[in-house]
Amino acid sequence: MKAVWPHLPALQVVIPLIGALLAGFMRRGTTAFALALVVSWLMPVIAVCMLWQVLSSGTISYHLGGWEPPWGIEYRVDALNGFVLVLVSVVGAVIMPFARRSVAFEIAAPQRAWFYCMYLLCLTGLLGIAITGDAFNAFVFLEISSLSTYVLIALGPDRRALVAAFQYLIMGTIGATFYVIGVGLLYLLTGTLNMADMAVRLAEAWPGQSPAVIAALTFVTVGVSLKLALFPLHAWLPNAYAYAPSWATAFLAATATKVAIYLLIRFLFSVFGASIDVRALPLSDILMALSVAAMFIASTVAVFERNVKRMLAYSSVAQIGYITLGIALANQAGLTGGLVHIVNHALMKAALFLAVGAVFYRACPMNLTDLAGIGRRMPLTMTAFTIAGFGLVGTPGTSGFISKWYLAIGAIERGWWPLVIAIMASSLLALLYVGRVLEVAWLRKPSPAIADASDPPLSMLLPLLVLALATIYFGIDTEWTAGMASTVAKALLGGVR
């Protein structure tokens, strides 16, 4: 144990990477699943150990290959990315048991092992983005996660998945290119790729708003915004989520956009924050306007959407709007709200997509009208859906309420009352689209098409229920989520000029 302890940051990334390689050599889906399960369950152990270490003794700096930081690659774990690592790995671990049956149902036998291989690669990439302290290394991991994501989406049972994956490939590539252009500019300006070092040098050499720094900031912001599906750069997301395999959608919705959001926060607050006042630029105004637009427009689209998975995908765009709103507010309460919504939204959206996956596993319908009366046939599944749905609305007693509460407080602290009303009003839109499903699922007569559907087996039901209960639990006990988010927000704002 003693020998492993200092190498935890490397193991966090290396274990899934090796797992992916091994899975690539496997033929049978079941063995690949077993491997993916073991890896997924190891990840949170490592992540929690690191977070504990960070909280008790401060930032971890790991020098890959023993090279000193400004030259070599540094893995740097502080409260912010420790938090993100725990989130990503825990979500992966919790929903992994669901995958076996769902994947076996939706994906042809020869491709199942590849599915797990791609999942492990994607996990490698996401954890890598979160853990690395090197801007270019983050780009490499961004590409690893993106490329594997395109494959995951293309494996979807619907042929439209291919088009969706292709569009995402184009958009993801543009995003990554913008990001790498931004990083290139920063490298020209500072001569370093290490984020912490970059921040120091930017503050020393380029104080104030130099055009080059601003160009770099713009490219990075827009590139990452594409990856996190900020409105109006979200157009790739609804189809990608709607046609990907059910389990992959749940995993990606809960983790991929969240890691991109992490990257945005890292650049805005830790890298640029030290040299330029992010709040003085129109950046925060633009981000705010786009967030509010996302909250309303994407929610309204969701209200009219007939395909349940696409509806949830649009709801994701709207919910990401809440998170970026918290970033744009850039004060203690607002940022806490945004950060805590990263966790809360990840948990409830995973629950919702898993519930939809479970319904698909049992009954195959995806249009809203086919779901008539499904609540009577699959009561536990739909109960979980209902709880998580109320979370989206922000009903008190669910975790969604906590996020919106902090956001509202943050808006009030900045004196923007209309924003408070916007938060409440967009919650009503969420009530409409969630309520539409609930009305169909619970109040209508069961249609004959779903006559012999029933709750899925325990391996699928358990992850679903755990996530739904977490939605309630984190709505009541906010010590771990909001408490942690508040610590992180304080640290982030402390580093800003």
Partner 1 sequence: MTASALPPALVLIAAGILLPMLSGRLRPTLLLLAPLLTLYLIWQVPDGVAARHAYLGYELVLVKGDALSRLFATVFAIMAFAGGLFALNQRRVIELAAAFCYAGAAIGVTFAGDWLTVFIFWELMAIASTLIIWSVGPSAYGAGLRYAAIHLLGGVLLMAGIVGEIASTGSTAFDKLTLDSVPRGLILAAFLLNAGAWPLSAWLPDAYPESSWSGMVFLSAFTTKTAVFVLLRTFPGTELLIYVGLFMVFYGIIYAILENDMRRILAYSIVNQVGFMVVGIGIGTEMALNGAAAHAFTHIIYKALLLMSAGSVLYMTERRKCTDLGGLFRTMPFTAICGIVGALSISSFPLTSGFVSKSMISEAAGKEHLAVVWYLLAAASAGVFLHAGIKFPWFVFFQKDSGLRPAEPPWNMRMAMAFFAVLCIGIGVAPQALYALLPFGVDYIPYTASHVVFYLQLLLFSGLAFFLMLNLLKRTLTITLDVDWLYRRAGVSLAKSFDRLAGRGWSGIATWTTGGASAVGRAARYYHGPEGILARSLPTGAMAFWAAIMLVIYLALFYL
Residues found near partner 1 in the complex (CB under 8 A): 166-167, 170-171, 174-175, 178, 209, 211, 214-215, 217-219, 221-222, 225-226, 232-233, 235-236, 238-239, 281-283, 286, 297, 300-301, 303-306, 314, 395-397, 402, 405-406, 408-409, 412, 420-421, 424, 428, 431, 439, 443, 445, 476, 478, 482
Nearest CB to partner 1, comparing residues 105 and 473? 473
Please give the Cα distance from 33 to 218 (Å, whole number).
41
**32 or 216, CB closer to partner 1?**
216
Query: Which residue lies nearer to partner 1 by CB, 14 or 170?
Result: 170
Q: How far is the CB of 4 from partner 1 (least distance, A)?
A: 37
Complex with partner 1: residue 236 or 262, whichever CB lies closer: 236
CB of 350 to partner 1, least distance (A): 24
Burial 183-219 (b: 16+ CB within 10 A, else e): bbbbbebbebbbbbbbbbbbeeebeeeeeebbebbbb
- CB distance 188 to 236 below 8 Å: no
Residues sharing a CB contact under 8 Å with residue 334, sequence separation 6 or more, in sequence order: 325, 326, 328, 406, 407, 409, 410, 411, 413, 414
Please say which residue, 238 or 357, places its beta carbon nearer to partner 1: 238
CB of 134 to partner 1, least distance (A): 25
Closest CB to partner 1 among residues 23, 169: 169
As measured in angstroms, the least distance from the Cβ of 314 to partner 1 is: 8
Q: How far apart are CA 335 and CA 160, in angstroms?
A: 38
**Helix or strand or coil: residue 62?**
strand
> How many whole angstroms separate alpha carbon 446 and alpha carbon 403?
35
How many residues are there in the chain? Answer: 497
User: Cβ of residue 182: shortest distance to partner 1, in angstroms?
Assistant: 11
Pair of tokens at residue 9 = 């940051």
- For partner 1, the closer of residues 10 and 222 by Cβ is 222
CB closer to partner 1, 103 vs 213: 213
Q: For residue 231, is it left (φ>0), alpha (ψ between -120 and 50) or beta?
A: beta
Whether the upstream peptide bond of residue 232 has omega within 30° of 0, thus cis, is yes
- Nearest approach in angstroms of CB 417 to partner 1 is 9
Name the region of 66 (left: φ>0; alpha: ψ -120 to 50; beta: rest): left
What is the nearest approach in angstroms of partner 1 to the Cβ of residue 483? Answer: 9
Q: How far is the CB of 297 from partner 1 (least distance, A)?
A: 6
* H-helix segments, 66-190: 79-106, 109-131, 135-154, 160-190
